[in-house]
Amino acid sequence: MIQNSIYKEISRNYERLRMDAENDRLSRQEEVYEKVPAIRGIDDETAKTGIKMAKAVINKEKTSEEAAAEAKARIDALKAEKQRLLAENGYAPDYLETKYTCGKCKDTGYIDGKKCGCFSQMLLNAVHEKSGLGAAADNVSLADFDLSLYSDKPYGNELKTT
């Protein structure tokens, strides 16, 4: 069924968009790591903080609330330091974040289980492409409709109303 193939194509497009966005983010991250090595250390320390928190709770060194509060404070401090380093080196605060084509649905096509507007547009584009009308339909609208090309006189055997 053509509709099923269109939905599969759209799903593949979204997957490709997400992969491209993630690859772009990783490229930016490597660029920043080369220019500002301390940021790699901050990212590593951020990842280790969660593990340290879990170990402290398991070893009963701290309650889960204490460990969570400590981890949050540490992560917040690391984020602030990272932002400072990014700014000092000429990077925007969101430079290391994933840049999606659609920020609303993050290139999934759905928001809270409902189709995003970008999904509807992608569906419309796919149906248009599959229609075979191609460029012929691109520049046509009702604004181009010219009633003067049609006669006001009845054609053939139309019923006349009285």
Query: Do 11 and 49 fall within a single domain?
Result: no
Determine the structural domain holding residue 120 and report its residue range.
1-27+99-136
Q: Is residue 142 part of a domain?
A: no
The number of distinct structural domains making up the chain is 2
pLDDT value of position 85? 98
Q: Is residue 141 part of a domain?
A: no
Q: Which of 44, 81, 61 is nearest to 70 (CA)?
A: 61
Q: Is residue 7 part of a domain?
A: yes
pLDDT value of position 162? 54
Contact (CB, 8 A) for 122 and 109: yes
Task: Evaluate if pTM is beyond 0.85.
Answer: no
Label each residue of 41-58 as H, E or C.
HHHHHHHHHHHHHHHHHH
**Sequence-ordered list of residues with C-beta below 8 angstroms from that of 53, at least 6 positions apart, any chain:** 67, 68, 70, 71
User: Where are the extended beta strands (E) located within the chain?
Assistant: 110-111, 114-115
Query: Do 48 and 84 fall within a single domain?
Result: yes
Query: Do 5 and 42 fall within a single domain?
Result: no
Q: Is residue 61 part of a domain?
A: yes
The helix/strand/coil state of 139 is coil
Kindly state the tokens that stand for 26: 């990783």
Query: Do 18 and 41 fall within a single domain?
Result: no
Q: Is residue 143 part of a domain?
A: no
Q: Is residue 151 part of a domain?
A: no
Q: Is residue 66 part of a domain?
A: yes
Query: Do 46 and 6 fall within a single domain?
Result: no
Q: Is residue 126 part of a domain?
A: yes
**Sequence-ordered list of residues with C-beta below 8 angstroms from that of 102, at least 6 positions apart, any chain:** 116, 118
Query: Do 74 and 109 fall within a single domain?
Result: no
For residue 119, report the phi and psi dihedrals to the nearest 5 degrees.
Answer: -65, -45
d(CA 33, CA 123): 39
d(CA 30, CA 18): 18
Query: Do 108 and 71 fall within a single domain?
Result: no
Query: Do 80 and 41 fall within a single domain?
Result: yes
- The model's pLDDT over 29-74, given as tens digits with 9 standing for 90+, comes to 999 999 999 999 999 999 999 888 888 888 888 888 888 899 999 9
- The model's pLDDT over 87-145, given as tens digits with 9 standing for 90+, comes to 999 999 999 999 999 999 999 999 999 999 999 999 888 888 877 776 666 666 777 77
Query: Do 77 and 41 fall within a single domain?
Result: yes
